[in-house]
Copies of this chain bind each other. A is one copy, B any other.
Amino acid sequence: MSAPTGTAAPVRPGATAPHPRLSVNQATIKYATLPEALDTVRRAGVGAIGTWREPVAELGLADAVRRVADSGLRVSSHCRGGFFTLPEGTARQRALDDNRRAIDETAALSAAGAAGSAPVLVLVAGGLPAGSRDLTGARSRVADALAALVPHALDTGVQLAVEPLHPMYAADRAVVSTLAQALDLAAPFPAAAVGVVVDTFHVWWDPALAASIARAGAARRIASYQVCDWTTPIAADPLLSRGYPGDGHVDFGPVTDAVVDAGYSGDVEVELFNQAIWDTPPADVVARVVASFAEAVPLPR
């Protein structure tokens, strides 16, 4: 299966028309440059993309902004900032400064995107610092980092989006593991400045998920909804153990209903970290994303 090579026909005859709220997160086609990713997504008839910092940096922000504007795509989020658990010191200050740059990038890319773009910067909390077992301390430093960044977020109109990661990453990637915890971290700040990400891969197992999504909706905190399946067995590298919607164990109906009922009306990203997917031609991946989303994710059109 290959994507159309012309630019006039965004959807092949016979193919499912992409859902109008579908967004392809660029991590799903990790080896594409930003221009390649924008082109692949646009040609597939998908309306939005979630961008990543590395491909933007590779191109330079000014050029990236121009390419995004030319693409006509919405930008649904920018990934990613965070890594907030380092103790006080120059490395932490550098991380915070880098997050301020990420906020500026988010504002610029979102402004360049088509109407409906979301100025959302996805944040991954960071794991335990090397040699530390102090979860409580690490978590309090995440809260401190948010407090330090909120003024710049408000100044630039960017919403910081705290993403709880699956508990299997608590030690080495993210000390924020549940949506309830992310909401607690967001609570001291205006919703315009701090929201949360609901990524099915990370939160599908949570017995408190429905309650937490409702709480997030009531507080207007849902900044991003990402769909990705949980497949078994877990991959040898657990970071890459993600599947197309429908390939695993997640029931996307109840989660999607809860997110819709909570008032989220933005784009819905498919973000897949998976070596086999990365080794597939990007146009084929995007076609499969479109089809699997249509089949497995009952989002009203």
Contact call B167/A205, Cβ cutoff below 8 A: yes
Contact call A232/B180, Cβ cutoff below 8 A: no
**Residue A249 contacts which of B133, B139, B178, B248 (CB distance < 8 angstroms)?**
B133
**Residue A205 contacts which of B136, B170, B205, B233 (CB distance < 8 angstroms)?**
B170
- The digit string for A134-156, where 1 denotes a CB below 8 A from any CB of B, is 11100100000000000000000
Contact call A171/B248, Cβ cutoff below 8 A: yes
A133 to B230: give the CA distance in the assembly, Å.
11
- CB neighbours of A168 from chain B (8 A): 166-168, 234, 238
A98 CB to closest chain B CB (Å) equals 24
How big is the A interface, by class?
A: 20 to 34
Cβ of A251 under 8 Å from chain B:
yes
A9 CB to closest chain B CB (Å) equals 35
Contact call B238/A238, Cβ cutoff below 8 A: yes
Cβ of A20 under 8 Å from chain B:
no
User: 10 extra interchain contacts, Cβ-Cβ under 8 A, other than A171-B205, A180-B208?
Assistant: A133-B249, A133-B250, A166-B167, A166-B168, A167-B167, A167-B168, A170-B205, A172-B232, A176-B207, A178-B208
